[in-house]
């Protein structure tokens, strides 16, 4: 069964409720962390397993839900891995930029990544 969350929290909640009423045994998805948070609430209330397929906001799986599982890294892991790869690139090219810009969408996913960047970047030392 398919349901388009339309990247909308209320739509995600409504569609998850409808899918559960139609008899799904497991919910899987979505890309968007805000929608995933809404679906997680439905899964917990209805006792239906929910596998988070991409949404990286850590707060979704840090609430102690019984029916919510993750097969995608949280924002801090994504940021750490990405910054490590950037450092590897700096070492290979022998150049380190003096400035950088981190751009993100202003949704739950983007805010989770921005928070992770703010926490992790100051602790890293880039080397050439």
pLDDT in tens, 22-67: 999 999 999 899 999 999 999 999 999 999 988 999 999 999 999 9
Q: Are residues 84 and 53 in the same domain?
A: no
Q: Are residues 83 and 60 in the same domain?
A: no
For residue 110, give every residue at least 6 positions away whose Cβ sits within 8 Å of its Cβ, in sequence order, or none. Answer: 104
Task: Report the pLDDT value the prediction gives residue 96, as an integer from 0 to 100.
Answer: 81
Q: Are residues 39 and 17 in the same domain?
A: yes
pLDDT mean across residues, the chain: 92
For residue 1, give every residue at least 6 positions away whose Cβ sits within 8 Å of its Cβ, in sequence order, or none. Answer: 19, 22, 24
Q: Are residues 79 and 116 in the same domain?
A: yes
pLDDT band at 128 (very low <50, low <70, confident <90, very high): low
Q: Are residues 115 and 81 in the same domain?
A: yes
Ramachandran angles phi, psi of 71, nearest 5° = -125, 20
- Indicate whether 3 belongs to any domain: no
Number of domains making up the chain: 2
Q: Are residues 54 and 95 in the same domain?
A: no
pLDDT band at 102 (very low <50, low <70, confident <90, very high): confident
- Indicate whether 128 belongs to any domain: no
Task: Report the pLDDT value the prediction gives residue 11, as an integer from 0 to 100.
Answer: 98
Q: Are residues 58 and 87 in the same domain?
A: no
State the DSSP code for 10: H
Q: Are residues 15 and 66 in the same domain?
A: yes
Distance, in Å, from the CA atom of 114 to the CA atom of 73, rounded to the nearest integer, reads 15
* Residue scoring higher pLDDT (109 or 36): 36
pLDDT value at 127 more than 80? no
pLDDT value at 68 more than 80? yes
pLDDT value at 126 more than 80? no
What is the residue range of 107's domain? Answer: 75-123
The two structure tokens encoding residue 3: 């349901």
């Amino acid at each position: 069964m398919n349901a388009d969350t339309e990247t909308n929290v209320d739509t995600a909640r409504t569609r998850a409720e409808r899918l559960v009423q139609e008899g799904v045994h497991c919910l899987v998805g979505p890309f968007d962390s805000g929608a995933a948070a809404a679906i997680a609430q439905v899964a917990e209330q209805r006792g239906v397993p929910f596998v988070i397929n991409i949404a990286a906001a850590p707060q979704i799986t840090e609430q102690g839900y019984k029916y919510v599982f993750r097969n995608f890294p949280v924002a801090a892991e994504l940021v750490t891995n990405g910054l490590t790869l950037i450092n590897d690139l700096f070492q290979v090219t022998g150049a380190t930029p003096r400035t950088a810009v981190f751009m993100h969408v202003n949704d739950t996913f983007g805010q989770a990544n921005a928070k992770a960047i703010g926490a992790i970047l100051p602790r890293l030392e880039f080397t050439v």
